[in-house]
Amino acid sequence: MESATDAESGIFSGECELCVEHETELDWFCGTELKLICSHCAIVGPCHGHTVTPLATRVTAVRNQLVDVCEKIQLQALRIERFIDQTLTAKEQKLQTAASTAREQVVAQISAAREALEEEEQRLLEEVQREEERVEQCLLTQRAHWSQALESLSQTRSSLVHTLTHTPDAQLVTSVQEIAERVEETEGVGEPCDTEQLNLNPACSDSKLLRSLWATAVLLGPNAYGSSNLKFDERTVSPLLSLSDDFCTLTFVHKKIRQSPPYDPARFDCWPNALGSVPMSSGTHSWVVDVGQSAAFKVGVCYSSLERKGSGNEARLGYNSQSWVLSHYDGDYSFCHAGKKVPLQVVKRPQRIGLLLDWLSQTLMFYEPDSSAVLYSITHHFSAPLLLACAVTDRSITILH
């Protein structure tokens, strides 16, 4: 028995095939078994009850289908040809112009940045040179002054010692006025004093441009969110706060549901504070705190020696000499240290606040990560390792990693 493929080939070529079983023309098509059959096969034969159609109808349907497919292929081919001839050609022509423009833009921006940096470098080096010369002149003046004073004191002392050891008693008692005058001269010399004028002013090398570029390079780098080890130390968490299981989220707890944690000398007992677990005393550190949910918070750093007990300013972040924080309360932003507030102009309420601490330059910077805008920057001589310090009195804040 010939296969369905062979049978269909015969039909399409105009040849007539006969049913082997009924010896009649194969002029029907069984859609269930996908083969050519005769009318007897469709009515009383093995294909009774199947989906069958006249062969001519099936052939017309297949031919129409092929025509549709060919037309679709032709249209697709035309679209491809049009895409190759028009779109790709135009893109190739535009590519050269766009690439050239992009190169010019890169070169122009780099040149402008390089020129600005070179000018800033020259300005800063000249400023450092002037400051160095000023301090050197002060040191020379001080050295000359105190060397002369020392010589004068030595001469006066030698004279007084000579008077003491060589002057007869009768003459010595009549020399009291002269001795008093010499003593008065020595007292007029004064005491040497170490002043800031004898030190290089760190501000001579301070540059907003360089600081911003440095900060941007760090903030846009892979370590902008800091170490994953930076979390809150649960021993320091105030009973006014709750700490999440991952030690990264602080939540203000309403009075009705507060619990009394076990006593710990490291725990804040009055102010809603908590400190980080990792001390920082070298290198560069950055971390980001999600503050979007809270309308009252503080984020910053402090010494580990910060007081933990009591309601005094010694344990209140930003109100003592051991803590530096950015504060948000009642819609206002400010930088707080040693009880002094510096109002900050914040155009858009930040959802996140980043902190950047560079130990080498002794710089602490608060910034807005989304725009890399610097909110506040301070240079201070930090005399001990610093810890992350936070407080919250509305909802929650989270260290992001």
Per-residue confidence (pLDDT) for residue 208, from 0 to 100:
81
Mean pLDDT of the chain: 88
What confidence category does residue 301 fall into, taking pLDDT thresholds of 50, 70 and 90? very high
CB-based contacts of 316-322 (< 8 A; 24+ apart in sequence)? 316/271, 317/271, 317/273, 317/389, 317/390, 317/391
Per-residue confidence (pLDDT) for residue 256, from 0 to 100:
65
311, 398 in Cβ contact below 8 A? no
- What are the φ/ψ torsions at residue 275 (nearest 5 degrees)? -115, 160
CB-based contacts of 183-188 (< 8 A; 24+ apart in sequence)? 185/152, 185/156, 186/152, 186/153, 186/156, 186/157
Per-residue confidence (pLDDT) for residue 12, from 0 to 100:
40
Per-residue confidence (pLDDT) for residue 7, from 0 to 100:
39
Per-residue confidence (pLDDT) for residue 14, from 0 to 100:
44
- The mean pLDDT value for 320-349 works out to 95
- The mean pLDDT value for 285-304 works out to 95
Distance CA 204, CA 366 (A): 22
Distance CA 353, CA 362 (A): 20
- How far from 186 is each of 146, 156, 161, 181, 214, CA to CA, in Å? 12, 8, 14, 9, 53
pLDDT tens by residue, 122-173:
999 999 999 999 999 999 999 999 999 888 888 888 888 888 888 888 787 7
316-342: b (≥16 Cβ within 10 Å) or e:
bbbbbebbbbbbbeeeebbbbbeeeee
Which of 245, 222, 226, 224 is closest to 234 using CA atoms? Answer: 245
Judged against a pLDDT cut of 90, whether residue 308 lies above it is answered with yes
Judged against a pLDDT cut of 80, whether residue 216 lies above it is answered with no
69-101: b (≥16 Cβ within 10 Å) or e:
eeeeeeeeeeeeeeeeeeeeeeeeeeeeeeeee
Distance CA 299, CA 386 (A): 13
Percentage above 70 pLDDT, the chain:
95
Which of 149, 146, 144 is closest to 186 using CA atoms? Answer: 149
What confidence category does residue 303 fall into, taking pLDDT thresholds of 50, 70 and 90? very high
pLDDT tens by residue, 251-271:
999 876 777 888 999 999 999
Per-residue confidence (pLDDT) for residue 10, from 0 to 100:
37
74, 60 in Cβ contact below 8 A? no
Which domains are present in the chain? 223-255+266-400 (2.60.120.920)
pLDDT tens by residue, 172-191:
777 888 878 778 777 777 88
Per-residue confidence (pLDDT) for residue 155, from 0 to 100:
86
What confidence category does residue 238 fall into, taking pLDDT thresholds of 50, 70 and 90? very high
- The mean pLDDT value for 385-398 works out to 97
Which tokens hold the place of 261?
């944690």
Per-residue DSSP letter, 168:
-
pTM metric for this prediction: 0.60
Percentage above 90 pLDDT, the chain:
57
Task: Report the length, in residues, of the chain.
Answer: 401
Distance CA 117, CA 346 (A): 28
Judged against a pLDDT cut of 50, whether residue 388 lies above it is answered with yes
Per-residue confidence (pLDDT) for residue 15, from 0 to 100:
55
Per-residue confidence (pLDDT) for residue 327, from 0 to 100:
97
